[in-house]
Amino acid sequence: MTMHPSSRRRTLLGLLAWLATAYAAAAVGATASVRAAAFYGQLARPDWAPPAWLFGPVWTVLYTLMGIAAWLVWRVRGFAGARAALVLFLVQLALNAAWSWLFFAWRRGAIAFADIVVLWIMIAATLAGFWRVRPLAGALLLPYLLWVSFAAVLNYAVWRLNPSLLG
């Protein structure tokens, strides 16, 4: 079965739009993280904390997986048919972008930790909503949920180790 050229174009444009949405959230967070590596280097960190250079490549992969997952859901049901799951997706993207501002730009460790806990809940809800529409879309969010689980523990540890820098 061949896809009609206009359907192919719509499908490709949809993929690009969902990737652009994910990357836009990444860009908002990255704006707050311009000097993150230097600040991260100043912080007391647990021995198990990853090096600063690792975060960029990991997040690039995760944002790509997020955009593809949202596109898969949109492709099956459209925005109207998957409104709840896709709105959850957009909300968690906003929380994700906010975290970088809270932690790196504004240096608010406690509020950043609260944000990442709510983010984790929203990712789990998004994953469940995506899974119901297209299991592959939910599965694509599993690495993200795992990474944010790790990041939440790291956020807490670094905040507690640096009360004067992350008030």
Q: Check if the beta carbon of residue 86 is closer than 8 Å to that of residue 70.
A: yes
Give the C-alpha separation, 98 to 96, whole Å. Answer: 5
Give the C-alpha separation, 11 to 113, whole Å. Answer: 37
What distances in angstroms separate CA 73 from CA 20, 29, 42, 81, 137, one per listed residue?
Answer: 16, 24, 41, 9, 7
Q: Check if the beta carbon of residue 164 is closer than 8 Å to that of residue 114.
A: no
What domains, with CATH codes, occur in the chain?
5-161 (1.20.1260.100)
Q: What is the pLDDT of residue 55?
A: 93
Q: What is the pLDDT of residue 2?
A: 65
If 0-12 CB within 10 Å is exposed, 13-18 middle and 19+ buried, where does residue 98 land? buried
This prediction's pTM: 0.93
Q: Check if the beta carbon of residue 121 is closer than 8 Å to that of residue 145.
A: no
Give the C-alpha separation, 104 to 73, whole Å. Answer: 32
| Rg, C-alpha atoms of the chain | 17
Q: What is the pLDDT of residue 32?
A: 92
> Digits of tens for pLDDT over the chain (167 positions)?
566 777 889 999 999 999 999 999 999 999 998 888 889 889 999 999 999 899 999 999 999 999 999 999 999 999 999 999 999 999 999 999 999 999 999 999 999 999 999 999 999 999 999 999 999 999 999 999 999 999 999 999 999 999 999 98
If 0-12 CB within 10 Å is exposed, 13-18 middle and 19+ buried, where does residue 37 land? middle
